[in-house]
Amino acid sequence: MNCRICNGQLSKFLDLGQQPIANRFLLESEFDSEFFYQLEVGICNDCSMIQLVNLIPPDELFGQDYPFFSSTSTFMTNHFQMFADEIKAHLLPPDGFIVEVGCNDGTFLKNFTDFLHMGVDPSTLSNEFMALKEFFNKRTADWIVGMMGTADVVYAANTVCHIPDLNEFFQATRALLSPDGFLIFEDPYWGAIVRKGSFDQIYDEHVYYFTVTAIKNVVEMNGLRLLGVSPLETHGGSLRYYVGKQQKEIPGTGVTQAINRWSASEICTHLAKLSSFSKSVHLTRDKLRTLLSSLSGQIVGYGATSKSTTTLNYCGIGPDTLDYITDTTPDKQGKFSPGMHIPIVHPDKFYKDRPDYALLLAWNHITEILKKETEFRGKFVLYVPGVKIL
């Protein structure tokens, strides 16, 4: 298998076994036709981009019933609002034009309805803001430029790492951006995944696991420049990248450029580090299985996240261990978890049952969940960062 970006050789360093589609919560009638693939990760020997070795064929992934889940987290809503304020204060002129790629339900873009704005997302549903229900590519970028002109800011959150053809994405952005415009995108940082041991962020939709070194390489290959990087707390540790057509300061955001310092010290891409990460993932699996099998009383899962699909299938945790998974998303309730087929239930059942243990599968929302679940008399079991009982 070769690198999707530069065609270099990939070195495989992690195998998470046979996995189903992470976000495909299913009905009992669909169990027999469920799709599985080998979840493996490699690093490109040339451009150092970390990526999945195998992808799910697009017709399996974006089938008719591809689920759309709106944002439920107040933390994320605040996160987007704060950054929208920063963009309005420093980066977007009053008559400026902002485009969001992967606008989802508009949690971010709704902050810009007083500005010229456009969302691009094949699964967007809202009529509260302007959106193009399409994939973002060179064709749609050219269409937007023809209709509205070039963009001052192009923003994408937790979207770019999902795009298999990254060269096309950056080419399309280059066509869309004004000469002084900024592309700003944020995605989980590979260094944080290694540090926290959050191997469950690896699943089919996340084609790439970004590092500063690899992003610098891919943007430069596509005629753009990496102008700045800033660390974020979201998704267990993310980086926000600022990219432009020319070398320039990023006004007012407090972002230092320090790109060379970041990339020089990025040991999370060294082969020895990658193989020790792989060993620690296997160890986490063994520890979690041992811990769960030593517990007595009722154990359930908390939060039917996409991530949890990797954890549950890799660790072989099924309905014989977790009675059910509680989740607030109406579309998931009444269905079963991918691969392991654990029932997903409304939180009312969790409050009524008062289980002894809840495996925290939505660990990225831990602060919000602990604040909310003060009535829970059982104990939370954690596996990121590290296996423990809270």
**Residues lying near ligand TYD in the complex (CB under 6 A):** 72-73, 303-307, 327-329, 362, 364-365, 368-369, 372
Could you tell which of Zn ion, ligand TYD, none binds residue 6, using a CB distance below 5 to 8 A set by kind? Zn ion
Looking at the Cβ atoms of 124 and 173, the one nearer to ligand TYD is 124
Closest distance to ligand TYD from the beta carbon of 139 (Å): 28
| 47 makes contact with Zn ion (CB under 5 A) | yes
Looking at the Cβ atoms of 152 and 200, the one nearer to ligand TYD is 200
| 130 makes contact with Zn ion (CB under 5 A) | no
Looking at the Cβ atoms of 262 and 324, the one nearer to ligand TYD is 324
Looking at the Cβ atoms of 46 and 134, the one nearer to Zn ion is 46
Does residue 188 have a cis bond before it (omega within 30 degrees)? Answer: no
Strands lying side by side in the sheet with 50-52 = 10-20, 36-44, 50-52, 208-209
| 214 makes contact with Zn ion (CB under 5 A) | no
Looking at the Cβ atoms of 47 and 384, the one nearer to Zn ion is 47
Looking at the Cβ atoms of 77 and 178, the one nearer to ligand TYD is 77
The sign of the CA dihedral 191, 196, 202, 206 is negative
Could you tell which of ligand TYD, Zn ion, none binds residue 306, using a CB distance below 5 to 8 A set by kind? ligand TYD
Could you tell which of ligand TYD, Zn ion, none binds residue 47, using a CB distance below 5 to 8 A set by kind? Zn ion
The residue whose two tokens read 């996160």 is 79
Quick one: DSSP state of residue 74? H
Could you tell which of Zn ion, ligand TYD, none binds residue 368, using a CB distance below 5 to 8 A set by kind? ligand TYD
| 44 makes contact with Zn ion (CB under 5 A) | yes
b/e 352-375 (16+ beta carbons within 10 angstroms → b): eeebebbbbbbbbbbeebeeebee
Could you tell which of ligand TYD, Zn ion, none binds residue 307, using a CB distance below 5 to 8 A set by kind? ligand TYD
50-52 vs 36-44, strand pairing mode: antiparallel
Judged by CB under 5 A, the chain residues 7 through 26 that form the site for Zn ion are: 8
- Per-residue binding string, Zn ion, 339-378, x by CB under 5 A, is ----------------------------------------
Q: Is 237 left (phi over 0), alpha (psi -120 to 50) or beta?
A: left
Closest distance to Zn ion from the beta carbon of 7 (Å): 7
Quick one: DSSP state of residue 339? T
Q: Which range binds Zn ion by CB under 5 A, 37-45, 159-167, 185-193, 243-251?
A: 37-45
- Residue 145: what residue type? V
Q: Which range binds Zn ion by CB under 5 A, 36-44, 96-104, 282-290, 294-302?
A: 36-44
Is residue 153 within 8 A of residue 91, CB to CB? The reply is: yes
- Which helix (H) or strand (E) segment holds residue 93: the answer is none
List the beta bridge partners of residue 126: none
Closest distance to ligand TYD from the beta carbon of 118 (Å): 24
Closest distance to ligand TYD from the beta carbon of 158 (Å): 8
The residue whose two tokens read 């602060």 is 367
Could you tell which of ligand TYD, Zn ion, none binds residue 268, using a CB distance below 5 to 8 A set by kind? none
d(CA 73, CA 105): 13
d(CA 152, CA 93): 8
Looking at the Cβ atoms of 49 and 99, the one nearer to Zn ion is 49
d(CA 135, CA 101): 9
Which three-class secondary structure state does DSSP give residue 180? strand
Q: For the chain, how many helices (H) and strands (E)?
A: 11, 17
CB atoms within 10 A of CB 9: 12
Could you tell which of Zn ion, ligand TYD, none binds residue 327, using a CB distance below 5 to 8 A set by kind? ligand TYD
Query: How big, in percent rounded to 5, are the helix, strand and coil portions of the chain?
Result: 35, 25, 40
| 5 makes contact with Zn ion (CB under 5 A) | yes
Closest distance to ligand TYD from the beta carbon of 206 (Å): 9
Q: Catalog residues that contact Zn ion under the rule CB under 5 A.
A: 3, 5-6, 8, 44, 46-47
